Every structure is written in structure tokens, then in C-alpha cells.
Amino acid sequence: MVKIGDRVKFLNEKGGGRVSGFRGKDVVLVEDEDGFDVPMAVAEVVVVDESDSYDTTRMVKAKVSSPAAGTVSGGFASGSGRAAQGVAPTPPSHKVEERRGGDLLSAFIAFVPIDIKELTQTRFEAFLVNDSNYYLSYTLSAQENGSWRLRHSGVVEPNTKEFLEEFGREDLGGMERLAVQAVAYKRDRSFMLKPAIDVQLHVDPVKFYKLHTFRDNDFFEQPALLYTIIENDRLVRPLVVDAKRLKEEMYAGGSASTVSAGFDVGKAAHATPEAMARRGAKGDSPMVVDLHASELLETTAGMSPADILNHQLDVFRQTLRDHAKEKGLRIVFIHGKGEGVLRRALINELQYRFKTCRFQDASFQEYGYGATQVTVG
């Protein structure tokens, strides 16, 4: 039985490639060496071993790697039927051709609309993109009721991408928190050791309703929403301030400092959590969260004002959710004076989404005129 990702040859004419999809029950789409999908009757193709002579070492924009290569049960969307379960990855027999600059690790989670012209109705495909000369042995987990559930695991070959799952918007609720853990290595040649990857990402469901969040990229012919795992050996920082670590620092003493937390948007923005939040040793100092874009993001290149505002609101909401059980905790959100857009958005959130919290203007002497103090209730 022919599956997506299988390498096939044509029976009655020269050529072949890798199966990238199907058109109905009887026609298979075969991606040739130039990256074009060739429609062919299922009866006219035959599956061949990976040891055949086709070149699989280069990054092809429309490439779909076999979901059977390490996909485990419980993918993004249940019942999709495209992901084989419990199948261990098979090491390739071909020699990997390395590219210049590929020894710096770069990897992304990519979400691609199947029909971007029908964005309100289309389903999406998820990929793990490995843009490096290293193999990546990975696990992908999603948060579920306060713990984590393994969704996918496997090995992604150098300079390729791995198809993970097809899903719909109804599945986004189970994808908001993703954790990627991976180890990078090379086969049959020496290499520099890389630190293990351990990254958490916040997938914003709202972005799947906005056309401008899907952008042109180097990996797909169509626009995609990219979340950076690591880029040029630089890891994306975790979205959430670790509660255990925060508690330890709270009781370690010291004055209040600023939280900077955030998530990656495409390949441009990175979180900067070096400044962890601290409360005074006596618990009398409030937590301070600076919502200025310059504190949350290393760069806003390619982001619209709406993107930035949504990101700031995400950090605001997540902070309150993370500390919802700490009744009486005071959190000062620094939003700046400006035109008051962010402040009004925060007040709206407090009035309609976080009704149990009390809020007031923060101390003018300490924070100026651009801060709001929220008391968790």
C-alpha cells in the first residue's frame, strides 16, 4: 500500500520520486527531483527501498517526509489517519551532503494552510523543519491538564522537514503549549557537540485566523506560520516563567525586578527571560512585568502593531493564569503612557476575563504614569 513519504518508481515510464499526497483514491502525487508534484495512477507506481539512487539530501520546498518515521499515537488531530503509529525511524543508507552554514543548528515548527485562499475553512499541516547539517532526534509534547503528553517522536534528517499531522481549528485548544526536546548529531563523520534542545512554545490560536501571520519563507512554496525552536545555535527561551524556580528566587531575597517573557513569532522574535521576577524576602514587594515590546522581543521586524499588541496581551494573560492561585499577590504591569491603547486593552481584559482581580494605577513615584497594579483575587 502506497503511503505519503514512500519513495516510488513509475512502472511504464522513466522517473519517480517521493509521495507527497493523493488526489482522490486512485491518483497519487509524486514529487520529482525538481520539486514538482506529478499526478500518477496508484496502479502505475511501485514502492522502492530508500537505498535506491534518488537524491534525498537537499531541502525541497514542497517535501513531505514520511509520517511513519517515528510518529507515535496521539497527534495534533485525532483520527487524521495520515500518521502511522509506533513505527521506529529507519536510518537512511544514502550519504548526507552538507551545505555551507548548516553546522549552526536551526529548527522550526511550521504550520501550513492547505488552502490559504479559504483561510476561514481550511485545515492545516504541521511540520518539523530541520535547517541544519545535523540529524535531530526529537520528541514533541503538548500540555494536557497540567502535565505533558507525547505527540510525536522520531529523527529528522539534515536539511529536510518532517510531516507531523493534519489538523483543524477545532484541534487548536490542545496545541497552545508545545514542548520540543531534541538531540543533534551526525552519522559517519565527526561533529561538534551541541547542547540538548529543550524549548516550550506558545501557539496562539488567534493567528490561524489572520492571513498576514502566514508569511513567505524558505521552506515551503506557500506562506506558513513558523515558530522558532532554535536558530543559528541560539535556543528560544521558554514561554513561561518556571514556577518552582520563581518560588526559589522569591525566597532568596533581593529587590523586585522585571519579568520578560514571550514567545517566538516566525523567525524574527525571541523571548528574553534573563530578568526573572523576584519578590522581596518579606513578600512585600510586587512582581513587576514590563510589557514594552523592547523588553519582550529582541526585534519587531515584520510585525504589525496588532501583532505586537496581541503578543503583549498574551504575556499579560499568561502571567495572571500562572499566578491565579496566589491570592493577594500584587503584580505591576508596565505598559507605558503612549496613546493608552495597551492600557485600555488590559483594563478590558480585567473587566471581562479576570473579574476577580482588583486593579489600580501603580505608584507614580516608583513606576511613573504608565503602570497598572493588579491584585490577584
Q: Which tens digit of pLDDT belongs to each residue from 150-176?
A: 999 999 999 999 999 999 888 888 888
H-helix segments, the chain: 243-250, 293-296, 305-322, 341-352, 364-367
In the DSSP assignment, the letter for residue 335 is: -
The DSSP code sequence of 141-193 is EEEETTEEEEEEEEEEPTTEEEEEEEE-GGGGGG-SEEEEEEEEE-SSS----
Q: Which residue, chain included where needed, has cell 512585600?
A: 284
Q: How far is CA 175 from CA 100, 136, 205, in A?
A: 34, 22, 8
Q: For residues 66 and 89, what is the distance between their CA atoms, to the nearest angstrom? A: 10
- Residue 330, classed as helix, strand or coil, is strand
**Which triple of cell numbers denotes residue 375?**
491584585
d(CA 195, CA 273) in angstroms, rounded, equals: 19
pLDDT of residue 302: 75
CB contact at 8 A, 68 and 59 = no
- The pLDDT of residue 54 is 37
Which residues on neighbouring strands pair with residue 180, listed in sequence order? 140, 199
pLDDT of res. 66:
36
User: Would you state the pLDDT for residue 255?
Assistant: 39
Q: Quick check: 230 and 236 in contact, CB under 8 A?
A: yes
What domains can you pick out in the chain, each with its CATH number? Answer: 1-54 (2.30.30.520), 56-235 (2.60.40.1600), 243-375 (3.30.1370.110)
For 59-159, list the strands marked E by DSSP: 107-113, 124-130, 135-144, 147-156
pLDDT score at 338: 65
- In angstroms, the CA 175 to CA 180 distance is 12
> Which residue positions in the chain have pLDDT lower than 70?
33-36, 49-95, 237-284, 338-339
**Residue 42, helix vs strand vs coil:** helix
DSSP summary character for residue 71: B
